[in-house]
Amino acid sequence: MFRPSRTGRLMLHVANLMVIFFILLPLAAVFVGSVQSEKSLQADTHRLLPIEFTADNFIVILSKGEHKGRIFEQVTYLPDNIKSFSRSSRSCSARCRPTPSRASAFVGPCFYCRPTSWRVSCR
Amino acid sequence: MSAGRFAFLMNLPTLLCLGLVLGYPVIYAGYLSVHRVGLAQLRRGEFAFNGWENYGRVFEDPLFWVALKNTAIFTVVTVSSEIVLAVAIALLINQTGIWTSRITRLLILLPYAIPPIANGLIWSFLYSFQFGFLNRILFTAGLIDDPINWAGNPDTALYAVTVPYIWRTLPFAIILVHAALQGIPRELYEQAAIDGANAWHRFRQITLPMLRQIIAIILILRTAFAFAVFEEILAITQGGPGDATWVAAWYSYKITFAPPNNFGMGSASAYILALMIGVMALLYMRFVYRRVTL
């Protein structure tokens, strides 16, 4: 209808880019956070992009915890026995007898199976 | 059967559903608000009637007034920002000749699809003092040297919570304003251009008056919703630091579900909040909406 001037068009483009940045900023941040390990996230708090990309976070969720990538071995805030995470999980699944009370996932030591295994899901 | 009776009969299932789904909790909360209901009473199953005592205790609680003040600030900041931004962005995406406007129009509904609690979690990740991306961006741009504790500083926390809320609810206002812009006849602009009106004059004399009605609707709806904000507070600050982000809905929640679980007082505060929203909506209808529709 009304064709803006060259400067006007430039300003409109800049305004649009600002709006797009505002819309995508949180989603982009979450995406970047999701494709890196906890260690990488905390290693350099000034870096925008991760040092290394990984799909392990998606894999562990989509496989319902069956496939845990190596990034979970890097986590520092969990006890040392996290290193035996995969093994513990397998043995736990094998030993546990599923009952309605045990159906929910544990967020602590699995006393039914191995007290040392951490965050084990008994299904 | 008369038309009126038939209409009543057809509406009866809906009325019954609404009565059960909405009416029962509202009435039960009203019942709880005039009874002494705590964990001990729940265990015994006997609620002693205590009249207006719960309401009195809510009004005497200094935290309630802090929550109310925070809610008022939150509502004013979010609603005013939303209206200004919604008009500006709606005008922006209305520019059909600008290719970036088409991208904005495509992306604009994205935040509206995010569930409120997920939105809160996303932004708490963004605001994180230790590894938040907002600080990373500012570091990269060279704007800060030390990380800023956006959600952990009592001076910035309430304003930090307003941004995620605006981000999530802005698309709704933009869509309404954009739809209203589509309804303005082009001839008005063409005639104004012939008369020598510039872009600012066209906006002031044509666009803004034609948008008054929709702005009034946004004002009413957004005020009511902003007054009852809860999810972002829960996910980002949980009322903290201290009582910096205690809002009315958070107050009701904490009084009810945090020990000592005073369900009676929580219901009373929820009723007060609902009453305030109702009064505000009525005032808006009386003084804003009617005036712009006449």
User: What are the structural domain ranges in chain A?
Assistant: 78-123
Say whether A13 and B97 touch across the interface (CB within 8 A). no
B180 or A1, which is more confident: B180
CA-CA distance, B220 to B288, in Å (whole number)? 9
- Listed in sequence order, the residues at least 6 apart from B139 whose beta carbon sits closer than 8 Å to its beta carbon are A45, A46, B147
- With an 8 Å Cβ cutoff, is A29 touching chain B? yes
Peptide bond into B147 cis (omega under 30): no
Give B199's contacts in chain A (Cβ within 8 Å). Answer: 2
Q: What is the pLDDT of residues B229-275, one digit of tens each?
A: 999 999 999 988 888 999 999 999 999 998 888 999 999 999 999 99
DSSP B112: G
Whole-number pLDDT of residue A53:
86
| Most A-contacting residue of B108, B126, B143 (CB-CB within 10 A), to test interface | B126
Q: Which member of A2, A4, A42 has the closest CB to residue B131?
A: A42
Q: How many CB atoms lie within 10 A of CB A59?
A: 15
CB proximity under 8 Å: B 179-198 to A: 186, 189-190, 193
Give A11's contacts in chain B (Cβ within 8 Å). Answer: none
DSSP B151: T
Residues of chain A with pLDDT under 70: 1-2, 71-123
- With an 8 Å Cβ cutoff, is A42 touching chain B? yes
Distance between alpha carbon B285 and the CA centroid of its chain, in Å?
17
pTM of the model: 0.81
- Listed in sequence order, the residues at least 6 apart from B152 whose beta carbon sits closer than 8 Å to its beta carbon are B129, B240, B241
Q: Where are the alpha helices (DSSP H) in chain B?
A: 3-18, 24-33, 39-44, 53-60, 62-93, 99-107, 116-127, 133-140, 157-182, 186-194, 199-202, 208-227, 231-232, 248-257, 263-284, 290-293
Q: What is the pLDDT of residues B100-159, one digit of tens each?
A: 888 999 999 899 899 999 999 999 999 988 888 999 999 988 898 888 899 989 999 999
Q: Which member of B98, B126, B137 has the closest CB to residue A12?
A: B98
Q: What is the ipTM of this complex?
A: 0.83
Q: Which domains does chain B have, with CATH numbers?
A: 60-293 (1.10.3720.10)
Say whether A47 and B98 touch across the interface (CB within 8 A). no
Lowest mean pLDDT, pick from A106-120, B24-38, B189-203? A106-120
Whole-number pLDDT of residue A36:
87
The answer to whether the beta carbons of residues A57 and A87 sit under 8 Å apart is no
Give one DSSP letter per residue of B202-249, joined into a string: HIIIIIHHHHHHHHHHHHHHHHHHHHT--HHIIIIITT-STTTT--HH
Q: Which member of A3, A19, A27 has the closest CB to residue B92?
A: A19
Sign (positive/negative) of CA torsion B237, B243, B244, B246?
positive
Closest-CA residue in chain A for B102?
A16
Say whether B92 and A26 touch across the interface (CB within 8 A). no
Q: Which residues of B102-120 are buried (b: 16+ CB within 10 A; e: fewer)?
A: ebbbebbeebeebebeebb
